[in-house]
Amino acid sequence: SLQLLVAVELKFSNGGNTITTNDTLRNIYLVVDGTIGLDKASTTQAFQARFYPNPASDIGYLSYTAAHNGDTEVKVTNVIGNTVFARTYKSAGVENKVKLDLSRLSPGIYLYTVKNGTDSRSGRFIISR
């Protein structure tokens, strides 16, 4: 638990009195929901990836815009780290789309990583039937 000292000053545009108050907020808890990783600061922002639909059933699509021409590695793992799909594609700087057959995978949460040169993007998707 944290304590946070808060100072608030309210100034009214009609020239009224300024109100200043100080208070301490106690028992503050930070809840992080949904973050599975952080992008490196050096990652090129032009490189993007997304999975849809999410949640998916038997077919899903991974769409990415490669920052560099050449090989792009696509990898999908389950939540315990087992690779369930891995393939390398030739990519150009335009939008690329990979159709994934999910019919043989169990319902659950999966993680994807798309790597192009030194840049990579990761995310997660859900299979629900």
Please report whether residue 80 resides in a domain.
yes
pLDDT at position 115, please?
93
**Total of domains in the chain:** 1
Percentage of the chain surpassing pLDDT 70? 64
Please report whether residue 38 resides in a domain.
no
pTM above 0.85, yes or no: no
- 3-46 pLDDT tens trace: 666 666 666 667 667 666 666 666 655 555 555 555 544 444 57
Structural domain of residue 104, as residue ranges?
48-127
Instruction: Tell me the C-alpha distance between 92 and 68, whole Å.
Output: 7
